[in-house]
A and B are shown apart, each in its own frame.
Chain A
Amino acid sequence: MFDSFGDFLAMGGYGPYIWASYGLCFGGMVILLIQSILTWKKRRSELEQLEASRARQSTPAARSKETQ
């Protein structure tokens, strides 16, 4: 256990190595998480947008089919 927060940060002099590796590790994990969520959200919005435009366009097409 560390006696002070300062020691905790210093990590017995190896602070830079330890905090760098923890930072990079959790940084990588967070980036991975965010990227995964973003792509999924982007795809889902494209899907909804596409389905909406299909719904809009299929009604006139349906109408034109009856008139042929």
Chain B
Amino acid sequence: MHRFANPSQFMRVAEAMLPWMVALCIPLMAAGLYFGLWASPADYQQSETVRIMYIHVPSAFLAQGAYIVMALGSASFLIWKHPLGDLIARAAAPIGCIFALICLVTGSLWGKPTWGTYWVWDARLTSMLILFFLFLGYLALANAFDDPARGDKPAAILAVVGIVNIPIIKFSVYFFNTLHQKSTLFGDLFSSGEEAGASGLQQPDIAAAAAQQGSALPPSMLLPLMLMLAAFSVFFLILLVLRLRGELATVRLRALRAGLRAG
């Protein structure tokens, strides 16, 4: 089925859901911001800076989610020749890259008041930095060919190779981190010590954030976090559909131009 022959069922469903998603995202975001910034208590230890968590954790969640979407799209393109697979990957990659960057920046802005430095080679921040490099690699490879269409398959292969390597990278980063993590202030804050040997894909960030507080997050903090997570996820889907439409239009344009320049 030529992907530009007719927008598949998938796209029609996605288009139809778009307005609903927007209608869902705005209130969620507003509520998240209200509870996150205004109506939730400061942390006894980090005081107000804990509010950065409400955007740091969701952006980390989206960055990893985007990579998984990218890898699944690429795998379906490579293995089952799904015509939209690589387009979904190409749509998700920039989103994931930007959110990885946001996660890193908010992480370092959160780190400055609490740890005194903008960057600490903490296991989770380091993993996010490497994930950001993987995104850069994908984007560079996907656009490294004179004929844009030639970049589809190599980029898809890279995404699958990347997802296979992520558990190994995460494990080695935690391994590296526990070796160099004696008892610094930072140690008990992020308590990455106990997380050493996290096998398989990294456990969800929420648990890590909860573990970091020693006891589970108080409900007054968990609410804004959940709201922001939901709002960010819906926002991600909106962006994905928008960019997917752009990718599909680009491919259709290329086909038309080929037909035109045939003479």
Contacts and interface: CB of A to CB of B under 8 A. Distances in A.
Interface of A: 1-2, 8, 11-14, 17-18, 20-22, 24-25, 28-29, 31-33, 36-37, 39-40, 43-44, 46-47, 50-51, 54
Contact of B49 (A14, A24, A29, A32): A14
Chain B facing A: main interface SS: helix
B55 A25 contact: yes
A17 B239 contact: no
> Interface centre among A18, A31, A43, A46, by most B CB within 10 Å?
A18
Interface string B147-176: 000000000000000000000000000000
Contacts of A33: 238-239, 242
A11 B101 contact: no
B122 to A, nearest CB: 17
Chain A facing B: main interface SS: helix
Chain B interface size, as a band, is 35 or more
B82 interface: no
Given A14-B47, A29-B235, A50-B260, A37 B250 contact: no
Given A28-B101, A36-B242, A36-B246, A17 B38 contact: no
Contacts, number: 89
B136 interface: no
Interface of B: 37-39, 42, 47-49, 51-52, 55-56, 59, 94-95, 98-99, 101-102, 105-106, 109-110, 112-113, 235, 238-239, 242-243, 245-246, 249-250, 252-253, 256-257, 260
B113 to A, nearest CB: 5
